[in-house]
Chain A
């Protein structure tokens, strides 16, 4: 296994090689990150940033305590420095869903179960036939979350036809993804059956694949 860094910077390294602590800026939090809250590790299930007054912002975070499994909602100022834990990670591919877990498999065919609730915010991109290599993260030997590639490609199952004459791409419309039925905004020229590239960190449409 390798230890992979995320946003922020390392404060100290543990000698047992399992994980390192880092400073994590609240605005950079993503699903799958692990942070220390009241001296206990919690995995971020969902992070949502909202602009407050003046030019400040707040980040609402849904977390799951890795020791107690308790789910909580917390809030932070966007520039708040949190205590992040950089986790052991392993490259895996998606295998199947077995209630209530998603199962990922590594190159040696070892299976790793991840509670669906812990990655609820990523489920919109998880499909039975997905081939992308993901990184399963571990806390003290237990698989707790998964990080998807920065971009993934998905098929559009439905979208309204584009208004005649406008193919500039500046106008957006709603598209529904195949399998997950997730809705997102895409450029007007995207059609049913197109494959599109999506940024998994922002959830935004990037481009249509040729």
Chain B
């Protein structure tokens, strides 16, 4: 049963539900759901109220309203290789649900990868609830019987993955087509600013998507950061760091030495760097993540590296780590003096950790990645007087130049780089976090 109520009373009805009912079913006189929502959640200044206060609007029964209360977002994630795709999508899904009160459904084509990152995920289940997130297996053959009404209000294709044709057809069937976003890769290149939020009309369709580019300036979409991340980091005490490392099977490292985390792709620069650390004058303890780093370190030692069984050579001690959850990986970054990171997700987390870091960028054909590396270095090191030492070491870590010599200079400037990473993180904070920027953009499009 439904009843008519004066629109003027709408703000007294706790009525996000009613408004979404309008958007989903008949879009009353151009009223925009998000505009009323803004009035209710109080986060933004109230936009114009489009309904006449005397207009009669349909009130929805509470039970039905409850089920339609929150805007529904679908995120599609195709796992290409490694854990970067699902790592970013999982973070985004959690942020949208927890901080933006969105009803999030995450479609993942390779649940085995996801289950490594999030052990609560069952690789066999087609549908499962993981906290507030509805996780769906994205099958190769998307169900033909997928109902049009199941399509979300906002659809995100992550990293250019192609949406299933059946789902696209359902999107086109909706009276109000969903906001469709292609979430792109993170880059510091200048062209990203020019392309951020541009529209891409789909040929022979009424659908249109927007390209959303993460980045490091206010003219881009920013990067992911949970609202409580900085607070959690600040509250993480040295005692907790010790407890964390113990839990990871790491005995207390030498306080006079360097504690380093290592997460990288297969990297020809790693063996000479291990050599350099072993032959150095300062004790270096390297905490090695599973996968490529662990394999390469094992090969160098000619002995398999196992968690809880450190290996030592000269001044170098290496400790194997188990596969870490995202929160534990953050704790690892906060605990170390220097972090080697790769790709996109760990690269961003290292910046929020406010510790010196070294980035191995995802290798691309025609050395395109080196331009992207230089673009980031250009932004990150602007106003940093000792930038040359950082540039040289990062480039050597990415295959350009000799790593051993570069390490000596890099080690010298580590303390000033520590200060600079704090400055950089503050600056990055001002770009706004990606999830907030995404929601703000969607509000403007709804």
**Are A and B associated in one complex?**
yes
Interface of A toward B, CB cutoff 8 Å: 36-38, 48, 50-56, 58, 60, 72-77, 80-83
Give the distance in Å from the alpha carbon of A60 to the alpha carbon of B195 in the complex. 7
**B187 in the interface (beta carbon within 8 A):** yes
- Chain A residues near B362: list those with CB within 8 A: 53-54
**8 A-B pairs (CB sep. < 8 Å):** A38-B201, A52-B184, A53-B159, A53-B185, A53-B187, A76-B200, A77-B200, A80-B203
**A21 CB, nearest partner CB in chain B, Å:** 11
**A62 CB, nearest partner CB in chain B, Å:** 10
- Chain A residues near B198: list those with CB within 8 A: 60, 73-75
Q: Would A82 and B189 be within 8 Å (CB), given that A58-B184, A60-B198 are in contact?
A: no
**B194 in the interface (beta carbon within 8 A):** yes
- Chain B residues near A37: list those with CB within 8 A: 201
Instruction: Give the interface residue-count category, chain B.
Output: 20 to 34
**B376 CB, nearest partner CB in chain A, Å:** 13
Interface of B toward A, CB cutoff 8 Å: 80, 159-160, 182, 184-187, 189, 191, 194-195, 198-201, 203-204, 208, 211, 344, 362, 364-365, 368
Which label, helix, strand, loop or mixed, suits the secondary structure of the B interface? Answer: loop
- Chain B residues near A50: list those with CB within 8 A: 189, 191, 195
* A39, closest chain B residue (CB): B204
Per CB-CB distance, the 5 closest pairs between chain A and chain B, nearest first, are A53-B185, A75-B198, A51-B368, A50-B191, A75-B211
**Pairwise interchain contact B364-A75, C-beta atoms closer than 8 A:** no
Which label, helix, strand, loop or mixed, suits the secondary structure of the A interface? Answer: strand
A83's contact among B195, B203, B364, by CB below 8 Å, is which?
Answer: B203
**Pairwise interchain contact B201-A52, C-beta atoms closer than 8 A:** no
A53's contact among B184, B199, B200, B365, by CB below 8 Å, is which?
Answer: B184
- Chain B residues near A53: list those with CB within 8 A: 159, 184-187, 344, 362
**B204 CB, nearest partner CB in chain A, Å:** 7
**Pairwise interchain contact B203-A54, C-beta atoms closer than 8 A:** no
Give the distance in Å from the alpha carbon of A52 to the alpha carbon of B198 in the complex. 15
**B377 CB, nearest partner CB in chain A, Å:** 18
B160's contact among A36, A56, A60, A83, by CB below 8 Å, is which?
Answer: A56
**B162 CB, nearest partner CB in chain A, Å:** 9
Task: Kindly list 5 other residue pairs between chains A and B, CB separation below 8 angstroms, not including A53-B186, A56-B185.
Answer: A51-B368, A54-B185, A75-B195, A75-B199, A82-B203
Q: Would A55 and B201 be within 8 Å (CB), given that A50-B189, A60-B195 are in contact?
A: no
* A78, closest chain B residue (CB): B160
- Chain A residues near B80: list those with CB within 8 A: 54
Give the distance in Å from the alpha carbon of A108 to the alpha carbon of B98 in the complex. 71
